[in-house]
């Protein structure tokens, strides 16, 4: 009996891993294509096929992508643009996450009249198509004197991001027991103290999800990045676009693949290192 | 060169002191374009170098990606009140955009040269929408270019490109019988529209001019347009059913291998083939697409540059110098040699080794077509109509290409109706 | 900025309610912090309301390349409703939206539950499932277009292995191409759904698991009956995120099918973009955007009302 059970448990484990690995393969296939192409030359791709195994592993796509490919006469690859993107994405992600956590806390734990409506309106913001907001933002930035500045782009991403971060945080905080807040109030803690001492320590799992969403979204954003920036202050997506060329040319798939992989590294690092904040039982620890 | 640069700078400085202009008195040009990388980027860099040699500081800020992305940038800059001194723009959009932002009058600069006499009158008209020169064409591509796979031609024993649609149909049928897919096609909206324009232009350039460029209802519902749809239906039957949503270059390997017979694509494709180590004559043949009219037809795609008005004296000086460079013979050669297009000026000798046969053929073709009054503007490449019109027609054409249940008669009706809604 | 970082460390060591410290926090007047919090929320609200109203106003004008204020009433709405491409786009959005949201939610939940089984290499697998989010669709959409294309991708590959009859030509089939968009979209977004679900599951009290285990409920039952309802607000977040992704999907279609074959995979956002920027008809483009938002309200309002009713009866939060 006991043996049979552990056997089936073992079978279950094997099945579990089989499923997990099968899905990993599904997710990885396109990445493998990109990785393989990053080692193939333009000539090889043009003469055989866009899908294929490299004849030899050439590194020059990577070298060119990082530091010597020419964009508008500046032969520096994508590396300087990576820095620009960091200057936009890091502050915008952190500020919008913090403000969203604040909003979520305000709307979920300080229940006041109209909180539901305010939450509804802010959430509605996530649905506004980017195209629709382009011209209003151009006007807003002009009026604020922020046209073609990094600060302007950060502002856009913070304001737009708040809709998302508020949604995530509010819906996470509604699971926090109200008693916790009441007890703190009895202790004489104020609005900000409760947020800082009680709510934020409970938040790592949702904050990492929020950071992942914001950072990825801002890092990969193209439409605003290219419209509201200039010259050498362009984000990396603009440089990537330069590689994906237009109708008159065949795309440099090799260099483009290498660039895309390089450009994805910061986000992948966020995913990897963010992982340890997916810990169980934070609320449990706090209530006891 | 160096001395002349010094002299120009010196003169500029002197002039600045005399007129007491702001301290940073040196000609410069802020410009946005899509040409950021590859051969086009290199051509643009060469342009910049020539302008720099005239003492102008060249500040190129490329917006790559789709044309719309560049337009968005331009729009945002116009809204912010700071348009660039010059920006890439072409076709009837020059007229449309010049209505929302003030432009520079280049009449004096143009009239001082023999430029206007040596370019197509139709093309000139586009760049002076209200009579004054506000923009300049930089390069021309022949859209009606036919590429044939040498291997496929050899297989059916053909040595020459088909001249008329009948010849083409006969050769394509032979290829199909030999197991070759006669027509390679990526299958994206603009390319679908392009295949239609090539058939109509090759049946009657006059009808193309009336129907597509002038949106004449009678021509749209006339027999030539119907014949073009019938020929296009024939072409779609010769395309692989799995050609949809791909960039045209994706099928180049198979074309060169002889799996496909022909590709109709703008002259830029020859540059891509060259870069892929394929040789004209050995791997592929290049010439005009089939033409029943008996006289040369040239379907034109010409990129240009528009100059935006500014109060800044440095920018104004930069604009003038840049315009002079763009009209020069030297520029015409350098620019087109790098990116594979052909010069706007028809008085340029393309005998240099730097040009490909395909370019020489196109240049000759252009001169002949201008003489025969059969140089027309491309629909698929936004040269014939403003964007709203182009898009409305394109919607009809792309559906026709990908849905063989739509008859040529039905498509013709839809096209004429679509023109009604946007005319 | 640095504040968030410190918080995370605090979360890790979890000092939560040990030794109440006196700090700069208590020096800030409580009223001021409340006012600031209120202003932040107000900014978020006014952005949404302001930009939406502006678009509505523009949709009634004949704006072309730049906004202008010559009003033409409902002209653009009528033109759009009658146009073929708009009808196709709405039909596509329905198929795509349903397929994508159900698929990504289901897959995301399944993966979150599987990962929650104390498995090895959790961090690695989670990253593998998440990474599609990190690559821009300009590239992955292109790669999917190759993989799904019959002459170069999967079909070609399987046939070359010897199975000559194998057919997988959805991408170039007018009626099936939209499902290719669904597949690629699920591939990209399901990992994020998984991450949100996982965060939700990890927010639950460990005692809940123990109690459920003692109850002797089977794992599947335990998750569906106890855990998922307990993280319902997170499920709502996932649905909202997927819904907004569905509604706003634009570059995926552009890279994968370019809206084709023909116009068979065009989505409303493609129409908005096309009218607003490609055709340079800002008035009509705004009308398209407003109609898209209106259709969204038709989906969302009943849900909001349902929530109200439920809350009225004293049911939980959410």
Q: What is the pLDDT of residue C300?
A: 82
Judge: C26–A190 Cβ closer than 8 Å, yes or no.
yes
pLDDT at A254 over 90: no
- The average pLDDT across B161-173 equals 96
Residue with tokens 């009249």: A113
Residue with tokens 């001249």: B163
- Rounded Cα–Cα distance for residues B338 and A253 (Å): 21
Give the pair of three-digit tokens for residue A215.
């950072």
Angle at B119 between CA B115 and CA B120, to 5 degrees: 150
Fold of B145-299+357-422: D-Maltodextrin-Binding Protein; domain 2 (3.40.190)
Enumerate domains of chain C plus CATH numbers.
84-292 (1.10.3720.10)
Chain A residue nearest residue C201, CA to CA: A280
Report the top-level CATH class of B2-138+303-339.
Answer: alpha beta
B2-138+303-339 and B145-299+357-422, same CATH topology = yes
Name which of B75-79, B274-278, B393-397, C314-318 the model is least confident about.
C314-318
Task: Tell me if B210 sits within 8 A of B396, measured CB to CB.
Answer: no
- The average pLDDT across B83-109 equals 94
Its pTM stands at 0.84
Buried b (16+ CB within 10 A) or exposed e, C190-206: bbbbbbbbbbbbbbbbe
Stretch (H or E) spanning B357 = helix B357-371
Task: Tell me if C77 sits within 8 A of C291, measured CB to CB.
Answer: yes
Q: Name the region of B341 (left: φ>0; alpha: ψ -120 to 50; beta: rest).
A: beta
ipTM: 0.85
Q: What is the pLDDT of residue B102?
A: 92
Task: Tell me if C139 sits within 8 A of A34, measured CB to CB.
Answer: yes
CA distances from C152 to B238, B242, C262 (A): 19, 10, 20
Angle at B411 between CA B244 and CA B419, to 5 degrees: 105
Q: Which CATH number fits domain A80-287: 3.30.70.20, 3.40.50.12660, 1.10.3720.10, 3.40.50.740?
A: 1.10.3720.10
How far off is chain C from A73, nearest CA to CA, in Å? 23
Stretch (H or E) spanning B30 = strand B28-32
- Rounded Cα–Cα distance for residues B386 and B92 (Å): 5
- pLDDT tens digits, residue range A255-280? 888 988 999 899 888 888 887 777 66
Among B112, B118, B104, B2, CA closest to B55: B2
pLDDT at C35 over 80: yes
Reported confidence tier of residue A241, pLDDT bands at 50, 70, 90: confident
- Which residue in the set A28, A51, A162 is minimally distant from C44, CB to CB? A162
Q: Where are the domains of chain B?
A: 2-138+303-339, 145-299+357-422
Reported confidence tier of residue A286, pLDDT bands at 50, 70, 90: very low
Q: Give the β-pairing of B260-264 and B181-184.
A: parallel
Judge: B386–C280 Cβ closer than 8 Å, yes or no.
yes
Task: Tell me if B401 sits within 8 A of B393, measured CB to CB.
Answer: no
pLDDT at B3 over 50: no
Q: What is the pLDDT of residue B19?
A: 46
pLDDT at B255 over 90: yes
Q: Name the region of B106 (left: φ>0; alpha: ψ -120 to 50; beta: rest).
A: alpha
CA C166 to chain centre: 34
Q: Counting one residue from B and one from C, how many pairs have CB atoms under 8 Å apart?
A: 88
- Rounded Cα–Cα distance for residues B5 and B63 (Å): 29
Task: Tell me if C12 sits within 8 A of A275, measured CB to CB.
Answer: no
Judge: B76–A72 Cβ closer than 8 Å, yes or no.
no
Among C265, C247, C122, CA closest to C189: C247
Name which of B202-211, C151-160, C210-219 the model is least confident about.
C210-219
The percent of residues above 90 in pLDDT, for chain B, comes to 75
Interface test with A, best of B35, B37, B188 (most A CBs within 10 A): B37
Give the pair of three-digit tokens for residue C176.
């099936």
Reported confidence tier of residue A88, pLDDT bands at 50, 70, 90: very high
Name which of A153-157, B375-379, C5-9, C250-254 the model is least confident about.
C5-9
What values do phi and psi take at A220, rounded to 5? -90, -5
- Rounded Cα–Cα distance for residues A170 and A193 (Å): 18
- pLDDT tens digits, residue range C246-256? 998 888 888 88
Judge: A46–B272 Cβ closer than 8 Å, yes or no.
yes
Question: Chain B contacts of C279, Cβ < 8 Å?
Answer: 387-388, 391
| Most distant CA atoms of chain B, gap in Å | 78
Judge: C263–B401 Cβ closer than 8 Å, yes or no.
no
What values do phi and psi take at A245, rounded to 5? 35, 180
Q: Give the β-pairing of B375-377 and B298-307.
A: parallel
Residue with tokens 């590429």: B147
Q: What is the pLDDT of residue C206?
A: 73
- The average pLDDT across B70-76 equals 91
Give the pair of three-digit tokens for residue C251.
């570059």
- Rounded Cα–Cα distance for residues A229 and A241 (Å): 14
Q: Name the region of A85 (left: φ>0; alpha: ψ -120 to 50; beta: rest).
A: alpha
Side-chain-facing half-sphere of C183: CA atoms under 13 Å: 19
Q: What is the pLDDT of residue C271?
A: 92
Q: What is the pLDDT of residue A244?
A: 65
Question: Chain B contacts of C79, Cβ < 8 Å?
Answer: 421
Name which of A87-101, B103-117, C65-79, C138-152 the model is least confident about.
C138-152
Interface test with A, best of C58, C155, C203, C236 (most A CBs within 10 A): C203
* Residue B371 CB neighbours (<10 A): 12
Q: Which residue has the higher pLDDT, A7 or A168?
A: A168
Among A18, C30, A175, C279, CA closest to B93: C279
Interface test with C, best of A13, A128, A193 (most C CBs within 10 A): A128
pLDDT at B269 over 80: yes
Q: What is the pLDDT of residue A246?
A: 53
Q: Report the DSSP beta bridge partners of residue B148.
A: B262, B285
Q: Which residue has the higher pLDDT, B316 or B251?
A: B316
Q: What is the pLDDT of residue A248?
A: 58
**What does the DSSP 8-state code read for residue A280?**
S
Q: What is the pLDDT of residue A234?
A: 86
- Rounded Cα–Cα distance for residues B116 and C150 (Å): 50
pLDDT at C8 over 50: no
Q: Mind spelling out the 3-state secondary structure of C76-140?
A: HHHHHHHCHHHHHHHHHHHHHHHHHHHHHHHHHHHHHHHHCCCCCCHHHHHHHHHHHHHCCHHHH
Q: Report the DSSP beta bridge partners of residue B32.
A: B87
Residue A36 in contact with partner chain C when CB distance is under 8 A: no
Computed over every residue of chain B, the mean pLDDT equals 90
- Residue ranges, CATH 1.10.3720.10, chain A: 80-287
Residues of A with CB under 8 A from a CB of B: 42-43, 46-50, 69-73, 134-135, 138-139, 141-142, 147-148, 222-223, 226-228, 230-231, 238, 241-252
Computed over every residue of chain A, the mean pLDDT equals 86
Task: Tell me if B25 sits within 8 A of B314, measured CB to CB.
Answer: yes
The percent of residues above 90 in pLDDT, for chain A, comes to 40
- Rounded Cα–Cα distance for residues A47 and A173 (Å): 56
Reported confidence tier of residue C21, pLDDT bands at 50, 70, 90: low
Angle between helices A150-173 and A204-220 (to 10 degrees): 150
Residue B306's SS3 state is strand
- Rounded Cα–Cα distance for residues A38 and A52 (Å): 11
Reported confidence tier of residue C313, pLDDT bands at 50, 70, 90: low
| Most distant CA atoms of chain C, gap in Å | 77
- pLDDT tens digits, residue range A150-184? 999 999 999 999 999 999 999 989 888 888 888 88
CA distances from B9 to B6, B45, B318, B326, B331 (A): 5, 21, 12, 20, 21
- Rounded Cα–Cα distance for residues A256 and A251 (Å): 8
* Residue-by-residue DSSP string for chain C: -HHHHHHHHHHHH--TTSSPPP-GGGGS-HHHHHHHHHHHHHHHHHHHHHHHHHHHHHHTB---SS----B-TTHHHHHHHH-HHHHHHHHHHHHHHHHHHHHHHHHHHHHHHHHTTT-TTHHHHHHHHHGGGGS-HHHHHHHHHHHH-TTTSHHHHHHHTT-TT----GGG-TTTHHHHHHHHHHHHHHHHHHHHHHHHHHHS-HHHHHHHHHHT--HHHIIIIIIHHHTHHHHHHHHHHHHHHHHH--HHHHHHTTT-STTTT--HHHHHHIIIIIS--HHHHHHHHHHHHHHHHHHHHHHHHHHHHHHHTT----
Q: What is the pLDDT of residue C317?
A: 42
CA A160 to chain centre: 14
Task: Tell me if A238 sits within 8 A of A226, measured CB to CB.
Answer: yes
Q: What is the pLDDT of residue B155?
A: 95
- The average pLDDT across B176-196 equals 93
- pLDDT tens digits, residue range A61-79? 899 889 888 776 678 888 9
**What does the DSSP 8-state code read for residue A250?**
-
Stretch (H or E) spanning B28 = strand B28-32
Q: What is the pLDDT of residue A136?
A: 94
Task: Tell me if C44 sits within 8 A of A122, measured CB to CB.
Answer: yes
CA C273 to chain centre: 19
């Amino acid at each position: 009996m006991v043996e049979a059970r552990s056997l089936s448990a073992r079978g279950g484990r094997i099945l579990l891993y089989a499923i997990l690995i099968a899905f990993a393969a599904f997710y990885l296939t396109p990445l493998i294509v990109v990785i393989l192409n990053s080692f193939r030359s333009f000539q090889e791709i043009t003469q055989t096929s866009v899908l294929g195994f490299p004849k030899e592993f050439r590194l020059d796509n990577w070298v060119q992508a990082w530091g010597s490919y020419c964009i508008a006469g500046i032969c520096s690859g994508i590396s300087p643009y990576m820095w620009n993107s960091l200057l936009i994405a890091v502050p915008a992600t952190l500020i919008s996450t913090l403000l969203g956590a604040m909003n979520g806390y305000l709307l979920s734990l300080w229940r006041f009249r109209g909180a539901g409506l305010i939450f509804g309106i802010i959430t509605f913001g996530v649905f506004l198509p980017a195209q629709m907001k382009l011209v209003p933002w151009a006007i807003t930035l002009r009026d604020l004197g922020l046209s073609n500045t990094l600060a302007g782009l950060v502002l856009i991403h913070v304001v737009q991001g708040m809709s998302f971060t508020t949604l995530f945080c509010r819906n996470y905080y509604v699971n926090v027991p109200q008693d916790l807040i009441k007890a703190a109030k009895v202790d004489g803690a104020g609005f900000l103290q409760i947020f800082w001492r009680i709510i934020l320590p409970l938040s790592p799992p949702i904050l990492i999800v929020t950071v992942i969403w914001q950072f990825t979204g801002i890092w990969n954003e193209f439409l605003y990045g290219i419209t509201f920036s200039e010259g050498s202050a362009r984000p990396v997506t603009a440089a990537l676009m330069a590689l994906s060329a237009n109708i008159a040319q065949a795309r440099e798939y090799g260099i483009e693949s290498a660039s895309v992989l390089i450009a994805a590294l910061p986000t992948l690092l966020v995913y990897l290192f963010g992982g340890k904040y997916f810990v169980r039982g934070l609320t449990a620890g706090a209530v006891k | 060169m160096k001395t002349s640069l010094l002299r120009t700078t010196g003169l500029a400085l002197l002039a600045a002191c005399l007129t007491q202009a702001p301290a940073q008195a040196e000609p410069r040009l802020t410009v946005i374009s899509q040409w950021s990388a590859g051969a086009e980027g290199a051509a643009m860099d060469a342009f910049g170098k020539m302008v720099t040699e005239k003492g102008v500081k060249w500040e190129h800020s490329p917006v790559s990606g789709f044309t719309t992305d560049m337009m968005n940038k331009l729009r945002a800059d116009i809204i912010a009140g700071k348009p660039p001194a010059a920006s890439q723009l072409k076709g009837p959009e020059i007229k449309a955009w010049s209505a929302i932002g003030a432009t520079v009058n280049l009449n004096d600069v143009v009239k001082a040269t023999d430029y206007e006499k040596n370019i197509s009158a139709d093309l000139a008209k586009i760049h002076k929408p209200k009579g004054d020169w506000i923009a300049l064409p930089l390069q021309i591509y022949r859209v009606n270019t036919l590429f044939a796979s040498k291997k496929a031609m050899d297989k059916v024993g053909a040595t020459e490109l088909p001249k008329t649609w009948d010849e083409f149909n006969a050769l394509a049928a032979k290829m199909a019988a030999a197991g070759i897919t006669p027509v390679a096609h990526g299958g994206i909206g603009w390319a679908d529209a392009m295949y239609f324009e090539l058939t109509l232009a090759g049946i009657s350039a006059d009808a193309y001019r009336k129907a597509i460029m002038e949106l004449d209802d009678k021509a749209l519902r006339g027999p030539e347009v119907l014949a073009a749809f019938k020929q296009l239906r024939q072409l779609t039957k010769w395309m692989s059913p799995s050609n949809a949503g791909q960039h045209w270059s994706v099928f180049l390997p198979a074309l060169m291998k002889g799996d496909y017979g022909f590709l109709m694509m703008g002259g830029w494709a020859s540059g891509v083939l060259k870069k892929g180590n394929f040789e004209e004559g050995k791997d592929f043949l290049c010439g005009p697409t089939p033409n029943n009219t008996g006289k040369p037809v040239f379907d034109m795609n010409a990129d240009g540059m528009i100059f935006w008005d500014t109060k800044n004296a440095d920018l104004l000086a930069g604009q003038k110098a840049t315009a002079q460079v763009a009209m020069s013979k030297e520029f015409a050669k350098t620019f087109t040699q790098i990116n594979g297009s052909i010069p706007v000026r028809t008085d340029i000798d393309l005998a240099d080794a730097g040009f490909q046969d395909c370019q020489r053929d196109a240049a000759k073709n252009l001169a002949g077509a201008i003489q025969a009054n059969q140089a027309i503007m491309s629909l698929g490449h936004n040269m014939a109509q403003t964007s709203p019109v182009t898009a409305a027609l394109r919607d009809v054409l792309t559906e026709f290409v990908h849905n063989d249940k739509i008859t040529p008669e039905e498509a013709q009706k839809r096209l004429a109706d679509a023109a009604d809604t946007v005319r | 900025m640095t504040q968030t970082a410190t918080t995370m460390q605090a979360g890790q060591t979890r000092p939560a309610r040990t030794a109440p410290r006196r700090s700069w926090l208590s020096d800030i007047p409580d009223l001021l912090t409340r006012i600031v919090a209120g202003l932040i929320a107000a900014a978020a609200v006014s952005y949404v309301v302001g930009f939406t109203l502006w678009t509505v106003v523009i949709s009634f004008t004949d704006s072309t390349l730049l906004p202008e204020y010559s009003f033409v009433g409902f002209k653009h709405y009528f033109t759009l409703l009658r146009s073929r491409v708009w009808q196709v786009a709405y039909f596509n959005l329905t198929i795509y939206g349903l397929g994508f949201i159900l698929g990504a939610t289901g897959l995301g939940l399944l993966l979150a539950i599987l990962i929650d089984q104390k498995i090895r290499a959790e961090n690695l697998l989670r990253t593998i499932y998440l990474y599609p989010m990190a690559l821009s669709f300009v590239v992955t959409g292109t790669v999917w277009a190759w993989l799904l294309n019959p002459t170069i991708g999967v079909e070609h590959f399987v046939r070359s292995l010897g199975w000559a009859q194998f057919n997988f030509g959805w991408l170039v089939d007018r009626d099936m191409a939209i499902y290719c968009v669904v597949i690629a979209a699920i591939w990209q977004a399901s990992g994020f759904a998984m991450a949100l679900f996982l965060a939700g599951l990890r927010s639950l009290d460990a005692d809940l698991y123990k109690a459920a285990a003692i109850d002797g409920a089977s794992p599947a039952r335990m998750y569906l009956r106890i855990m998922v309802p307990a993280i319902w607000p997170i499920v709502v977040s996932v649905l909202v995120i997927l819904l907004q992704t569905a509604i706003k999907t634009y570059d995926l279609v552009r890279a994968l099918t370019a809206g084709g074959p023909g116009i068979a995979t065009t989505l409303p956002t493609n129409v908005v973009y096309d009218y607003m920027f490609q055709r340079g008809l800002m008035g009509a483009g705004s009308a398209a955007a407003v109609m898209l938002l209106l259709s969204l309200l038709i989906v969302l309002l009943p849900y909001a009302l349902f929530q109200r009713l439920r809350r009225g009866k004293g049911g939980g939060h959410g």
